[in-house]
């Protein structure tokens, strides 16, 4: 980690939501032990399945809701108690955009820019994100990708030091995605601290300098993508994953030397520090059993594998 002050520091976060009618009006502890540090000039990703607590964590970080426990420091201040001064240094793109539906993008961005003493150049921002093509169409008639771009522009218009992006690639067409991802890289180079949530492996692997994996309201792992996908489990030294598809219910006794599991019927996973001899052993096993696998795939561990190891639940 760089030797600078974190722009966001969350320790031991606890948040109860509710009351929930289905649980006799009890509160539900949706966050119980999230910790997270983000630094300027870095993209920090919160990775987790839907409902893991990513958005609630962001709401606490943005000062939209008061945590029930733990500490949150945003640019050294408590975001819930801080005023307009702190908010002028932070840009937020909400998951659903948070845009008024009846207004047109360009007047909207000018309106939001008016809230800041020295906003970004609105025209340049509009051009950079290609909003000029639909700048006078009411927000409600825009596509999902166009709305995302307007929401990103609205988050950036105050020229923030810290940028929060909740699921930035949700609903993006490939063209919008390229525009948005390029801009995120550029902003990182400018020195912004960027904190984003995603349930997409691709996003985290492409964008993030540092990843916090959130599961069931807790930070369960963190590191750079490279660190996380390297051996995390020292005892098994897992580094690669090989999967093959064949008929269900194979007798795996002939592969005693390898760690093989039938993860779903007909799909087999071989995990380990695989060496050429292991592949030869596999091929021999297939020959003996007279099997021709319908698919074979081998790759280094991905973030998804790390996530599966930790939570036992799949991500999309």
- Can residue 114 be called a binding residue for another protein (CB under 8 A)? yes
- What is the nearest approach in angstroms of another protein to the Cβ of residue 157? 9
Shortest separation between residue 124's beta carbon and another protein, angstroms? 17
Contact flag: residue 116 with another protein (CB under 8 A): yes
Q: Which two tokens stand for residue 23?
A: 């649980």
Find the binder of another protein among 131, 154, 172, 204 (CB under 8 A). 154
Is residue 160 within the footprint of another protein (CB under 8 A)? yes
Size of the site for another protein (CB under 8 A): 34
Contacts of 239 by beta carbon, 8 Å cutoff, 6+ apart:
230, 231, 272, 273, 274, 300, 301
Q: Does 264 bind another protein (CB under 8 A)?
A: no
For 125-145, b/e burial (b = at least 16 CB within 10 A) is bbebbebeebbeeebeebeeb
Six-digit token string for 153: 């522009």
Q: Is 281 exposed, middle or buried (0-12, 13-18, 19+ CB in 10 A)?
A: middle
43 binds another protein (CB under 8 A): no
246 binding another protein? (CB under 8 A): no
Among 117, 174, 249, 288, binds another protein (CB under 8 A): 117
Nearer to another protein, 150 or 207 (CB): 150
Which tokens is 174 given?
A: 């490939």
Q: Is 102 in the site for another protein (CB under 8 A)?
A: yes
Q: Does 106 bind another protein (CB under 8 A)?
A: no
Query: 65-68: which pairs have CB atoms within 8 A and are 24 or more residues apart?
Result: 65/15, 67/13, 67/14, 67/15, 67/31, 68/14, 68/15, 68/16, 68/29
Site string for another protein, 57-96 (x = CB under 8 A): -----xxx------------------xxx-xxxx-x-xxx
36, burial (CB in 10 Å: exposed 0-12, middle 13-18, buried 19+)? buried
Q: β-pairing, 69-74 with 162-166?
A: unpaired
Binding of another protein by 25 (CB under 8 A): no
Least spacing, CB of residue 18 vs another protein, in Å: 12
Among 33, 97, 105, 145, binds another protein (CB under 8 A): 97
Rounded CA-CA distance 244/247 in Å is 10
Interacting residues with another protein (CB under 8 A) = 62-64, 83-85, 87-90, 92, 94-103, 111-112, 114-118, 151, 154, 158-161
């Amino acid at each position: 980690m760089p030797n600078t002050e974190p722009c966001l520091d969350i320790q031991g976060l606890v948040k109860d939501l509710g009351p929930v009618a289905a649980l006799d009006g009890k509160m539900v502890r949706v966050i119980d032990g999230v910790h997270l540090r983000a630094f300027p000039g870095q993209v920090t990703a919160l990775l987790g399945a839907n409902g893991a607590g990513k958005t609630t964590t962001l709401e606490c970080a943005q000062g939209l809701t008061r945590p029930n426990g733990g500490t949150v420091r945003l640019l050294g201040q408590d975001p819930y108690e801080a005023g307009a001064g702190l908010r002028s240094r932070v840009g937020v793109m909400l998951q659903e955009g948070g845009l008024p539906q009846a207004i047109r993008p360009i007047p909207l961005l000018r309106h939001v820019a008016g809230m800041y003493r020295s906003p970004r150049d609105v025209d340049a921002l509009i051009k950079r994100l290609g909003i000029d093509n639909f700048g006078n169409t009411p927000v409600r008639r825009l596509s999902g990708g166009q709305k995302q771009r307007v929401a990103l522009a609205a988050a950036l218009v105050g020229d923030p030091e810290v940028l929060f992006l909740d699921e930035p690639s949700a609903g993006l067409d490939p063209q919008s995605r390229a525009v948005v991802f390029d801009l995120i890289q550029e902003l990182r180079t400018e020195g912004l601290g960027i904190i984003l949530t995603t349930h997409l492996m691709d996003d985290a692997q492409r964008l993030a300098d540092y990843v916090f994996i959130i599961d069931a309201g807790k930070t369960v792992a963190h590191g750079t993508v490279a660190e996380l996908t390297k051996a995390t489990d020292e005892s098994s030294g897992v580094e690669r994953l090989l999967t093959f598809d064949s008929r269900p219910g194979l007798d795996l006794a002939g592969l005693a030397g390898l760690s093989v599991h039938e993860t779903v019927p007909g799909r087999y996973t071989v995990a380990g520090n695989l060496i050429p001899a292991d592949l030869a052993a596999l091929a021999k096993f297939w020959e003996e059993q007279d099997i021709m696998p319908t698919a074979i795939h081998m790759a280094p561990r991905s973030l998804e594998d790390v996530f599966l190891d930790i939570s036992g639940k799949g991500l999309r």
